[in-house]
Amino acid sequence: MNGDLCSKCKTNESLRYHAYCKACHRAAAGRPAVPKFTRDPNNTTLCSKCKSAPRSESHRYCVPCRRKAQTDSINRRGGSWAAKSSEQKHKSIVRSYIRNLVKRGKILKQPCAVCGDVNSQIHHLDYLPKTLNVAWLCFTHHKEAHKNKRTDLPMIQIPWMPDPRRKPIDERLAMNSIVSDDQCWLWQGYCEGEHGRIGIDGKIRTVHQVAWEIFHGPIPSDKWVLHKCTGHGNCWNPAHLYLGDPLKNAQDRVEQGRDAVRTGERNGRAILTIEQIAWIRQHYEPHSRKGMSTVRIAKILGVSQSAVWFVVSGWTWKEKPAIDTSEKVA
């Protein structure tokens, strides 16, 4: 809307960037006008579901029944997992478990227990946590069983068991590991950084923490599982593990050369070696004919003059190298 009147009917406000109003625009395009909804103040028609409350506008249900019908429709299509109750979640897990057993051939499909129809479905008589009682029914008898809540059907008892494809944790660890020369049990599966990872009950766990819990029991909340071996973050040998605190973990990291602060040649941005640094400091004499300037040293080593100046001024490579060489280092 732009505030101007329609150039055709001169009564309604015209559309934005258009000379006509909405009704005249639809009429000019050959489309029927949109009927306006008018609320009936004397609406006494009752809800077609509860038969007690007046129905809502433009709907045959009242507001509570309409909301409940929408929720039931969502739940019939599977619904949102977060919106389900604990009982609904348990039923969904059981149904998925049975479908997987049928898909892998652990349970053979059988004809309907009532009429013998081969196009049968699984009907759950209960959802007990230890045993599952199911029956094979066709679509008609399955619907009838839900409607009449029949319990006299011939049932099949299926034990609730873990996934047969999932092996014990210790076997999974052993199958995906190798033994090194220093008796480290190195995890060969998925790793994040230096530490191995393994999925347990839908969660990603650290391998050496899982190994500690298997051999030594639960880990205290204020302790970390640390390694005695060097350079093998994926080792889970219980003889190479011990409990410590974050401070001890940081000290071990520095002692083993795995600290984040890397100086000297270990720095990824270093362009000079320790031998070259010793040679630069030995031959740098700016005010002597025998010595060399930063410009000449930079040309010999193939680096910038600023890089050499930072070395001789002490801005970089603050540690003085113990190596001393009298020959030119290129």
Q: Dihedral sign, CA of 294, 299, 301, 302? A: positive
* pLDDT recorded at residue 328: 45
Alpha-carbon distance of 161 to 18, in angstroms, equals 69
**pLDDT tier at 163 (50, 70, 90 boundaries)?**
low
Percent of residues, the chain, with pLDDT higher than 70: 83
- What pLDDT does 219 receive? 92
What confidence score (pLDDT) does residue 212 get?
A: 93
Sheet holding 131-138, edge to edge: 120-124, 131-138, 156-159
Q: How far apart are CA 161 and CA 152, in angstroms?
A: 26
pLDDT digits (tens, 9 = 90+) for 87-101: 777 788 788 888 888
Mean pLDDT, all residues of the chain:
80
Q: 169-255: what CATH class?
A: alpha beta
In this predicted structure, the answer to whether residue 77 has a pLDDT above a threshold of 70 is no
Q: Which residue has the tokens 């109750």?
A: 85
In eight-state DSSP terms, residue 284 is B
Domain ranges, ordered by start, for the chain: 1-37, 86-159, 169-255, 264-313
pLDDT at 6: 84
Taking the CA atoms of 119, 122, 125 and 131 in sequence, report the sign of the dihedral they define: positive
pLDDT for residue 235: 92
pLDDT greater than 70 at residue 3: no
Q: Tens digits of per-residue pLDDT, 213-271? A: 999 999 998 999 999 888 788 999 999 999 999 999 888 887 877 666 667 776 767 88
Residues linked to residue 204 through DSSP beta bridges, in sequence order = 199
